[in-house]
Amino acid sequence: MRLLYCGDIVGRAGRDAIIQHLPGLRSRLALDFVAVNGENAAHGFGITADICRKVYDAGADCILLGNHAWDQRDIIGYIDSDPRLIRPINYPQGTPGKGEALIDIGRGRKVYVLQVMARLFMDPLDDPFAAAEKALATHRLKREADAILVDMHGEATSEKTSFGHFLDGRVSLVAGTHTHVPTADAQILNGGTAYITDIGMCGDYDSVIGMKKEAPIDRFRRKMPGDRLGPADGEGTLCAVYVETDDMTGLATRVEAVRVGPRLANAVPEVAAA
């Protein structure tokens, strides 16, 4: 199976990058499944139902969120009606939405998608390790699902790396999101799980993690409240991680970073025809 997971969409630049590049990548890489993190898609903060529809139309099979899940209040009334829109599973019980989805992709195949939010330098949510353990007890690789994609949305590289090793051998991919900076550590762990600490963002890299440069620079220099952060609006780059899995085990046989757009060195895997 061929999977692609696109990093956090930041503002219009990120949305445009997804709309422009994802359809071509879906065809060029003969992808079976595409996930996208959309938690910063609406002017840098949250997502809307209309943006969800546009991301699905571009070729996404599901959308994941994160710590900005509720920044657009309208999403609270929408999320329960969209089974493919996923927020971290370790939010407290009673929070709208779901933190997991088992998605039928046709030809008798299913992909299980799970998201947790880390706790170091983040909101003090329930234990992400325990939440993942509980979820995977009933969604096992090559029993209930042909592939399993897990997103750990977090700040600390140590927490995300620990989480990847914790799930090694039990899922197809553990991918970090949230920092908006792509890491160079895409690898297959000893047990066969593909791993990357952070995919990076889909957005304008002539920025401070997707935001216009002036306001964050001023905040760091003066340590005073300043202008509201706003997403940079130059041409966006799509950053993603590409994974191939073994049909017999569901574990990874290949993992590579994907980058399409200006400023960063472009990288698109060469693949054989499906």
Active-site residues: which are they? 68
Q: 250 — alpha (psi -120 to 50), left (phi > 0) or beta?
A: left
Compute, in degrees rounded to 10, the torsion defined by CA atoms 37, 62, 102, 154.
Answer: 0
Encode 92-113: b = buried (16+ Cβ within 10 Å), e = exposed.
Answer: eeebebbbbbebebeeeebbbb
